[in-house]
Structure formats: structure tokens, C-alpha cells
Amino acid sequence: MGAKQENPDVEHFNRRAATYETASSQGYFFDRIQRRILKLAKTQNPQVILDVGCGTGRLLRKAKQQWPDAHLVGVDAAEKMIQQATELFPEAEFHVAMAEALPLPDASVDLAFSTMSFHHWANQAQGIREVARVLRPQGRFALADIVVPRWMMFFVRHFKYNSPAKIREMFVQAGLPVELQQKPWRWSRVLLITVGRKP
């Protein structure tokens, strides 16, 4: 057997972990996306909130302000991101794990998020199925990610091709009927937010 191959995406984020919080890419645009996700994923009193691809835990820290009594869980494939998240927000529970294999019991989460990490998932349909598995009945999953038109794939090869219809189909096949799907701002035609709810 050959040597274990590293995932280049994971290694990239491990290298960026120490400066991720202060990077310009984490500024205004990401803050607006996260505020929008929190607004759209309205759940009255979620007991457990999960962020898949949580990075350094910024969205979970914002969720704590909105739902101070919720138990917060973050999952990320990059170990150094999880180290940073744990240092910055020790009140939350963090795990090094892939979206496709969430280390959580069935029906244990009320509200799940994923912002701008979906295009890094190795098996997107399996990742959505995993989120559906850990959601409780009536639990919501709010996904925000870049949707790149097919003609742009030559220029941005690290993105998987997705369309609103394809993402909707993955949600439905995972047992998450879509409540809402929108491009939140007229000026951002490549950002898509999809919210599904488990029956």
C-alpha cells in the first residue's frame, strides 16, 4: 500500500488557520452571508446547532448571540482550524471530521448550517444525507455556497458544478424538502442559499 495522500483542500486550510480570523476574505462579504443565514434559518429555540465546515467557529459565535441557551457543535476537516476554534470559543463542542461522516448520533440536531464549504466536500450528496441523518424531525439545514455556471468551470476547477436544481435534488433525495432557495442579493449572482426542513 502506498503512503496516505493528503487532501489539498484540508492542507490549504491547515496552513491558513492561524491567520484565518483576520484575513480580508473573512470580512464584510462573509459577515453578510452569515447574518443572512442566521436570519433565514429561523428556529424558535434550537437546543443543538451544528456548523459543518465551521472553520474557526465564527458563525457559531454569532449563533450564540441569537440563541444563548443552545448547545453549539462545529465540524471541520482541517485539524488546525478546529484547534483555533476551540481556543477562540471553548464553550462549543468541536470535532475534526468530514461532512460525509458526522460524528453525531441520529436525530440529535435542531439546526444545521454550512457556509462556503460545500464546494470542498468530496461527496456532496452523502454530506447532505449525513446532515439529514443527524437532524431531528422539523430540523432545518441552511446551506450557502457559490454556484458556478458551467461555462466558468474551466477557470475555477476546484469548484464542483452545481445548479439550483441539482442542489434542490440532493436535498430532496436526502429527505429534506426545500423550504427556500434564493440568491440573496442582486449583485451576487453566484451565491445561492438553500434551506431544507426534515419532515
Helix (H, G, I), strand (E, B) or coil at 117: coil
Give me the pLDDT at residue 3, please: 36
pLDDT at 188: 61
Task: Give the span between the Cα atoms of 150 and 173, in whole angstroms.
Answer: 23
The residues, any chain, with a CB within 8 Å of residue 188's CB and separated by 6 or more, are none
Mean pLDDT by 10 residues, the chain (199 residues): 48 60 60 85 89 95 95 96 95 97 98 93 96 97 83 54 91 97 72 94
Separation between Cα atoms, residue 167 and residue 92, nearest integer Å? 29
Residue 42 has a pLDDT of: 74
Q: Would you state the pLDDT for residue 146?
A: 84
**What's the chain's length in residues?**
199
Tell me, rounded to whole angstroms, the distance of Cα 57 from its chain centroid: 11
Spatial contact of 191 and 144, defined as CB atoms under 8 Å apart: yes
Could you tell me which CATH number the domain at 27-197 has? 3.40.50.150
Domain ranges of the chain: 27-197
